[in-house]
Amino acid sequence: MEPIQQTYQMPTADQQLLDNGQGVIDPDVFFELNTPPSNLADFESKLTAFVDYHQEKNTRLVFITSGGTTVPLENQTVRFIDNFSNGHRGACSAEYFLDAGYAVVFMHRQFSLQPFHRHYTHNASMGFLDYLVQKDDDTIAVDSQYGNKMKDVLSKYRAATESNRLLFLDFVALSDYLFKLKSGTRILARLQERVMYYLAAAVSDFFIPSQKMHEHKIQSAGGALTLTLDQVPKFLTPLVSVWASKGLIVSFKLETDDNLLVPKARQALTRYGHQVVVANMLHTRKQTVTVITQTSQQVISLSQEDLANHVEIEDRIIPQLVRIHDGWISSDATKACQQ
Ligand code: PAZ
C-alpha cells in the first residue's frame, strides 16, 4: 500500500491574505482566528476582583508569567509539543516579589512549579508523603527534620494568601496563554505604572492555527507525519504600545548560543521599545543572568559561596528590578507634574 504523507490543511487564500507576506499574522488576526479559552470569564473575574482590592490599597503589583505553553497538534488534543520550562524562575521570583511588598498575580502553566509549594513538589527523590511520619498515637505529622523549614515556608505562604497578595491563575496551550495575556494586561492597565509585567514564561514561537489542525487524534495508519508550524505573531508589540503601555515591562530572553544572547536581547529592546530584558542561557540560568535596559547592562552571577549557601539568583534579580521600577514610577510622577 502507498504510504500516505499526513500534512495539515493548507491555509486558505483568505488566511494567506491576512499575513504579512512572511507567514506571520497580525496579533489582532490571531484573536479572530482562534477560540478563547472556556475559562476566560472566570480568569477575568478573579483578576478584576484582585485588581479592585489592590487599587484601593495602592499596592505595587507584579504580573508574573511562568512555565511553558503547549502547542496542540489536534483540536481534540491528544498530542502536543512542549518545552523544557518547569516554572522555577517564575515561582521563585514570586516569593521574592512578595518579600519586597508586591502583590503577585502568578499566571502559570497548569501543574508547573508554584511559589511556596515548589519547596515540596517536583522533586525526583522526595514525594509529598516522604515529608510525613506516622506517630505512635496513629496521627500523622511532618517529619521533624523538615519541620522548621516547612513552618517558615507555611507562615510566608499563609501571610501572602491571607492578605490577598497572591493570586494563582493558569494556562496550558499557547492560545490559552495569549488570550489571557491580552485580557490580563488590559485589566491590570488601570494600575498604570504601579504594575510590573515579568514575562518569564517560555512561550512557543511556532504553532498550528486551529483551522489548520486535525480535528481528531492523528492516526498512525496514515504513515509518516509532516508538520508545518506557523510563526506566532509578535505579541510584545501591542503589549508594549497598547495593552500595558504605562507599566514596567520586563521580558526574558533565553538562548543556547552564548554569542546570540546579548545581541538578541538588545534587538528585542530596540524592536519593542520596552524597559528591561533579562537574558539567560539554558544551562546557566540559575547561576547567571544579564539585566539589560536601554542604557545599561548588568551581569548578575552567584559566587561559589552563594551556591554553597543555596542562594537563589532571584534573590539578586528582584531587588535590582524593584530599583528600576522605583525609577519608572518616579519618572512617571515627574512627567505628570510637568504636564
Ligand atoms: O521555568 P524555568 O525556571 O525552567 O526556566 C526559566 C526560563 C529560562 C524559561 C526564563 O528565565 C526565560 O528565559 N523565559 C523566556 C524564554 C524565551 O526566550 O522564550
Q: What is the CATH number of the domain that holds 123?
A: 3.40.50.10300
| Residue ranges, the chain, pLDDT below 70 | 1-23, 333-339
One-letter amino acid at 213 equals M
- Which of 109, 28, 99 minimizes the C-alpha distance to 71? 109
What is the pLDDT at residue 222?
80
What is the pLDDT at residue 23?
60
- Number of domains, the chain: 1
Question: Is 88 touching ligand 1 by the criterion CB < 6 Å?
Answer: yes
What is the pLDDT at residue 207?
96
One-letter amino acid at 64 equals I
Please give the number of the atom of ligand 1 that sits closest to the Cα of 113.
Answer: 1
Q: Is residue 286 part of a domain?
A: no
Q: Is residue 299 part of a domain?
A: no
Q: Is residue 258 part of a domain?
A: no
Is 75 in contact with 213 (CB distance < 8 Å)?
yes
Q: Is residue 255 part of a domain?
A: no
83 CA distance to ligand 1 centroid (A)? 10
Grid cell listed for 256: 543556547
Has the ipTM of the complex gone over 0.90? yes
Q: Is residue 278 part of a domain?
A: no
Which residue out of 285, 312, 313 has the highest number of ligand 1 atoms within 8 Å of its CB and is therefore the one to mutate?
285
321 CA distance to ligand 1 centroid (A)? 17
- Which of 231, 172, 229 minimizes the C-alpha distance to 201? 172
Q: Please compute Rg for the chain using Cα positions.
A: 22
Q: Is residue 225 part of a domain?
A: yes
State the Cα–Cα distance between residues 55 and 169, nearest whole angstrom. Answer: 19
Please give the number of the atom of ligand 1 that sits closest to the Cα of 205.
Answer: 19
What is the pLDDT at residue 2?
41
Q: Is residue 121 part of a domain?
A: yes
Q: Is residue 290 part of a domain?
A: no
Domain limits at 99? Answer: 5-246
